[in-house]
Structure 1
Amino acid sequence: MALVKKKKYKIKSGDTVKVIAGNDKGKTGEVLSILALDGKAVVDGVNVVTKHVKPSAQNPEGGRNQQEAPIHISNLMLIDPASGEPIKVGKKKNDKGKNQRYNKKTGDFI
């Protein structure tokens, strides 16, 4: 079994993103978690699916639950906290020599 290396993405948990492709195109939401091995993210209020739950000791009634499903990171764009517009993100070293995300259009660090 080969070791799989986790990729590092330019979108992180807690970022506000906009969906640029798929059924939820145009919606915005906060990233709840990143699934690095799959290249997907779970976004609040985006790609909501209905999950059927069997009755159990914890949930005696069972039923249908609405929850967010992962969406591929390539279908998301980061929203700039300063301008509120979707932006392309790059990585470069800051003054202290540490890699940091930046807005490719303006060159400002995020």
Structure 2
Amino acid sequence: MASAKIKKGDKVVVLSGKDKGRTGTVQQVMPKDGKIVVEGINVVARHRKPSQQNPQGGIDRFPAPMHIAKVAVADPKDDAPTRVRFEMKDGKKVRVAVKSGETIDG
């Protein structure tokens, strides 16, 4: 299996859609679905009827999954979107930002 280019905890930039240009932290990655959940991005509202568990009812707001192709990893140097490549450093496979050459992890 190929290594993931975007992982939980990464800072990402949204490339398209209503939140274009905004940055956020990855909360969840769903590789089988090709989706990603980013904190504070693609927030949707669900109107809930009162129930036994939630007698008040109300509006729930939460970040919905979005397609992984709509985001790019933020460059560690200047938070601009960048592509990711893999390199071997000290016998370890690490992710490197193509734009600046900075190591993303490890």
User: What TM bracket, shorter-length normalisation?
Assistant: 0.7 to 0.9
Q: What residue ranges of structure 2 are gaps of 5+ in the alignment?
A: none
**Which deviations, in whole Å up to 9, do the C-alpha atoms of 1:15-38 show, x marking residues without a partner?**
111100112111111111111211
* Structure 1: tracts of 5 or more residues without a match: 1-5
Tell me, yes or no, if structure 1 residue 35 matches structure 2 residue 30. yes
Paired-residue identity, %: 44
What amino acid is the match of 2:97? N
Q: CA deviation at 1:51?
A: 1.1
TM-score, with normalisation over the residues of structure 2? 0.85
Is the contact between residue 31 and residue 41 of structure 1 (CA under 8 Å) also seen in structure 2?
yes
Q: How many residues align?
A: 104
Q: TM-score, normalised by structure 1?
A: 0.82
* Equivalent residues of 2:14, 2:70 under 8 A apart: yes
Quote the Cα distance in structure 2 between the aligned partners of 1:79 and 1:53: 35
SS in structure 2 opposite 1:49?
strand
Moved more, 18-27 or 87-96: 87-96
Is the counterpart of residue 108 in structure 1 residue 82 in structure 2? no
Task: Name the residue aligned to 1:99.
Answer: 93
Contact 1:7 1:37 in 2 (8 A): no
Structure 1 match to 2:73: 78
Shift of 1:72: 0.8
In the alignment, is the contact (CA less than 8 A) between 1:49 and 1:69 conserved in 2?
yes
Change (3 A) 1:8 1:37: farther
Distance in 2 (CA, whole Å) between partners of 1:80 and 1:38 is 25
1:3 matched residue in structure 2? none
